[in-house]
Structure 1
């Protein structure tokens, strides 16, 4: 990196940067080992709100990547932190799985189906028409609408799956109420990660594979950004965006020597 201030902290996306469909991307293990041996502070970021950091740490380990659970920051954790800052000890009707409910419980939120302060939508593999209908009615009655991230779809071995953004669009269509999305590309996700590490934006780099989430949110949070070409964004697409990453590299393997 050519900037005057040395890099002290690293943030990196997970899917498309470190792993692809649960297989480690070449260079990812070396990158993580170099971070840990150097003593640099880092967090692995993900919009996935299904799993707890402990779950994700175990899943990464199964892929051959060692990441302690305290070094994983999810959109569920960022959402819980945001809600705690807005209304401490509030109540929520939650559509989501353990990653989200655990994060909310840990900040003192109560899950309820009686006049909740918030409807909180996260990713799940078992969306229920009954639960979505209940969420719509709570929002119509005044509950505030929060969603962990705007991703419309996610990958699976069989093809795309509807994700949080798609279900949020359904609820918005029914209620005419837009959710507040906490996860990427909201720079709030980056800010909450920086706060978790007690880090400064001027000495932090964000690594991602998507121009429209990782790179734009990192840029808007004042971070240096690095795009890897092992995930969603293809080389020919980079110039189509009105903003650019600080650097474009083929893969995470090209970043090891920069730490």
Structure 2
């Protein structure tokens, strides 16, 4: 049976990380084989995550421990996307940042000055130790006119013990105190998808987004003009799909079911290039 994805060749692949490739520190079935197949066929790809805590180097090490070999350059986080976006808005500006190494490193690398006064931006990211003093400072700076940016809208994050409050939940508290809503850069904002595609010289019409969530992964792929695959190894169940007013292009049980599609969807042009 022909895949519903086969409306055009697939040159580039974007995939979410948690719930698609890994769960906690375990590789999900087929994840190492999927990445290996992309590498074997020379397909351009990026692993995406809304988690802004870790640097790409940290995440590469985490994936390697799970047996998934992904180069650092093939990892794109909401922290990297946020820093890139803000650099294009106001390069070298001052920012008050609440977050961990993934976000602070990304902001430094894009030339920002991190400060707690006279800032153009307040940037809120993920952290396991949200400080009441830091949140209070952010509220006051936003009240003085700083622009409010957040890496992603996720209200909870996973842990072995259960859900943890995440960026979206803390942003809601800041909004309640200031009346100002943040601009979220991470998924489902298609901005994160476009910056990812630009990074690997991809085009939406020849790209596919793989994710485990309808409200972030599938939605962001759809709004960026991409085909999408929902895998059922994470947050969204088959029963949940009907609650949304949009659909993924294809629903598969796990990332292992995508392995064969990487070669199948290359298209004639890719085969001709391989022969050359």
TM-score range normalised by the length of the shorter chain: over 0.9
Q: How far apart, CA to CA, are the structure 2 residues paired with 1:5 and 1:18? A: 25
1:28 aligns with 2:25: no
Matched, 1:84 2:114: no
1:182 and 2:181 matched: no
Deviation at 1:160, TM superposition (A): 1.0
Larger Rg: 2
The residue correspondences of 1:1-259 to structure 2 (distance < 5 A) are 1=3, 2-259=5-262
Q: Write the distance in 1 (CA, Å) between the matches of 2:224 and 2:155.
A: 23
In structure 1, what is the Cα distance between the partners aligned to 2:233 and 2:6? 25
What whole-Å deviation, never above 9, does each CA across 1:14-49 have from its counterpart, x for those lacking one?
Answer: 000000111100100000000011100000000000
**How much does 1:159 deviate?**
1.1
Q: CA deviation at 1:88?
A: 1.1
Matched length = 259
TM-score, normalization by structure 1? 0.99
Question: Partner of 2:270 in structure 1?
Answer: none
Q: What SS does the corresponding residue of 2:230 show, helix, strand or coil?
A: strand
Look up the SS of the partner of 1:256 in the other structure.
helix
Please name the residue that 2:271 is paired with.
none
Which runs of 5 or more structure 1 residues have no equivalent in the other structure? none
